[in-house]
Amino acid sequence: MITISDYEITVLLLSLKVASISSIIAFFPSLLIAYFLARKNFIGKSFVDGLIHLPLVLPPVVIGFFLLIIFGKNGLVGDIFFSTFNIRISFTWIAAVIASAVMGFPLFVRSIRQSISEIDPKQIEAAQTLGANKLKIFKKIIIPLSKKGIITGFILSFSRSLGEFGATITFAGNIFGETQTLPLAIYSSLQDPDSNLIVIRLVVISIFISLAALMISNRLSK
């Protein structure tokens, strides 16, 4: 009988919590930006496009550094939160969520954008001639027809978040029960000569979850 230890359950639940909340947070801005990138032309579009893709190409630790500068206790935004609301962002699970959301964001935008640009413009024109306003078109045509991209985006950003390491360890630290997600737990155990077995167990759990996420996404996007 294979049993999962309390330690593994804590790590696993935290990883799932961070991954799901960060994907949900990343969803709304991704949808809007994907819509504008797919349907509108504006000055500086390629710049915005590049900016959005930065988390995909920059070393994750650089993103972690930027987040620390912005949301750290003395950071640009973090300072306001800390001095007015007495809320600390860096080194809490919220920091892990922010790091994951930022890293998953470009993947989310890419897949939704792909779906939106595949929508036949004639359908939107038809809706317009029939008197539908922009909001209605967005709700009744754009979203339903890009469902596939939205689901793929969810799964991609969810999986990215499960694997997020560099930005998280820089910005959220490696605090057990607070910010120690699966990859961080594996990293910690790799540092410890007596934890070889724990490493293998965590690796198996991580493979199992990622594979499950991919299979669910294949099933859903059919």
Partner 1 sequence: MIILNSLNSIIFKNYLTIIFGFFILFSQALKANENIYIGYASSLHNAMKEIVNDYEKRSDVKLKFGMGASGNIAQQIMRDAPYDIFISANKKWINYLDKHQKIKERQPWISNSLSVIGSMKSIENLTLNANERFCLADPKNAPLGLYSLEAINTLNLKIPDNQIIFLKDAASVQYYLSINECDYAITYSSNILNLEKNVDVQSLPLNLYSDITYEIGILKSNKDTKDFVNYLQQPSVLKILKNHGFIID
**Residues of the shown chain interacting with partner 1 in the complex, contacts defined by CB under 8 A:** 68, 72-74, 82, 86-88, 90-91, 173-178, 188, 191-193
Of 152 and 168, the one with the shorter C-beta distance to partner 1 is 168
Of 13 and 126, the one with the shorter C-beta distance to partner 1 is 13
Please state the closest distance from residue 44 (CB atom) to partner 1, in A.
Answer: 29
Closest CA to 202 of 184, 216, 215, 214: 184
Please state the closest distance from residue 13 (CB atom) to partner 1, in A.
Answer: 15
The CA–CA distances, whole Å, from 220 to 90, 106, 144, 154, 215 equal 35, 21, 14, 11, 9
Of 133 and 196, the one with the shorter C-beta distance to partner 1 is 196
- In whole angstroms, what is the distance from residue 176 CA to residue 120 CA? 49
Please state the closest distance from residue 181 (CB atom) to partner 1, in A.
Answer: 15
Buried b (16+ CB within 10 A) or exposed e, 66-101: bbbebbbeebeebeebbeeeeeebbbbbbbbbbbbb
Of 100 and 189, the one with the shorter C-beta distance to partner 1 is 189
Please state the closest distance from residue 175 (CB atom) to partner 1, in A.
Answer: 6
Please state the closest distance from residue 94 (CB atom) to partner 1, in A.
Answer: 12
Of 24 and 175, the one with the shorter C-beta distance to partner 1 is 175
The CA–CA distances, whole Å, from 92 to 61, 89, 176, 188 equal 17, 6, 11, 18
